[in-house]
Copies of this chain bind each other. A is one copy, B any other.
Amino acid sequence: MDGAPARVAVLGVGLIGGSIGLAARRRLGAEVVGWGHRAATVERAVELGALDRAAPSAAEACAGADLVFCAAPVAALPGLVAEALAAVGPDAAVTDAGSTKRELVAAFGSDERFIGGHPLAGAETAGVENAREDLFDGARWYLTPTDRTSGLLYDRLQRAVAGLGARPQAIDAAAHDQMMATVSHLPHVLANALAAEAAGGVGGAAGGTGAPGEGGAGASAAAGDGAERLPEVGPSFRDATRVAGSNPAIWQDIFATNREAVADTVESVARRLEAAAALIRSGDREAIRAWHAAAGEDRRRLLDADLPGGPLQELRISLPNRPGTIAELALALGEAGVNIEDMALHPAADNHSGAVSLWVAGAEQADRAAARVRELGHTVAAQGAGD
């Protein structure tokens, strides 16, 4: 039941490490010493106020620390945690901020001083320039203690995490990885598969379409035009593939360190798709409708969990897509006290016109937003349609 840590070490000073440093200095009143494998980055972190000082090595950063945060990419964590545990005394806690937990906890969870961690904020590579004291405000921060973990050190760590602004929550390391496999890692795999299918499938589609009619005026010219075989893609394709191929260096490590859980959930989705294909092939409209509607309910339930202000409401607004229109809209909603939780643009192909979907929390904000949008002269519908 001791108080805040007097001395914090941060190993790896990117977005996460830098933000931990800023918040630890200003909110916990701790002295923060940092180390990173690029000296220039560490010096920049000092300039930005994220560190009191830079140490010449990880071990020297850890010497005398009560609490060590390892905030490096996943692949670097085993080495860093081992160095930290070797460098600190018996009364110091060592944690990390990696996206996967099972392998690291399997390696170090027998040491009562190591407690795995994962803040759901930012990304490992976005750089110390983006570090902010309030990065973790309100964010879930998972901690993965084991039955060997020191209660005293766990208490110190979870108080410190709360002091940084986050909402700490203990979770079993394997359960964490399984959950992340589905809600974070799986979407990346699906995006990849869809992008590959569209890139591979579209070329194939033009060549292999059974025995269609020959086409009238203009049809054969179009079919022979390679550039036109890449169709304009709709907003559903943009959204569904947004993360395809993002940061291969980070993702190879996440996939590698959570391979069994990710592979299991990917296979589960493959089986769901086989079932969906059979359902669609059957042409049973009522069953298709029920399956489709149930998926919409599933999504709403997941997104509504924990959301302050009530379930998300979608407003779909038609508007000219010239520079400044979105700004005008967002400004007006801001003045009306409406906060936009999520936004998706649906530009027309010419980018001169389009629609925007806004999600706001709760019916009251939605009504206020719709009224304000109509005052601006735009039309607004309660729900968008497919593309």
Contact = CB atoms under 8 A, between A and B. Distances in A.
B343 A323 contact: no
Interface in A157-208: 158, 165, 167-175, 178-180, 182-184, 186-202, 205-206
A87 interface: no
B138 A350 contact: yes
**What range describes how many residues of A lie at the interface?**
35 or more
A123 B386 contact: yes
Contacts of A278: 263
B172 A236 contact: no
Nearest to A292: B248
B266 A276 contact: yes
Contacts of A105: 213
B184 A216 contact: no
Copies of this chain per assembly: 2
A218 interface: yes
Interface string A119-142: 011111111011010111111100
Given A158-B218, A330-B327, A347 B341 contact: yes
A301 interface: yes
A88 to B, nearest CB: 19
Contact of A327 (B137, B173, B328): B328
Nearest to A165: B350
Interface in A323-376: 323-335, 337-345, 347-353, 355
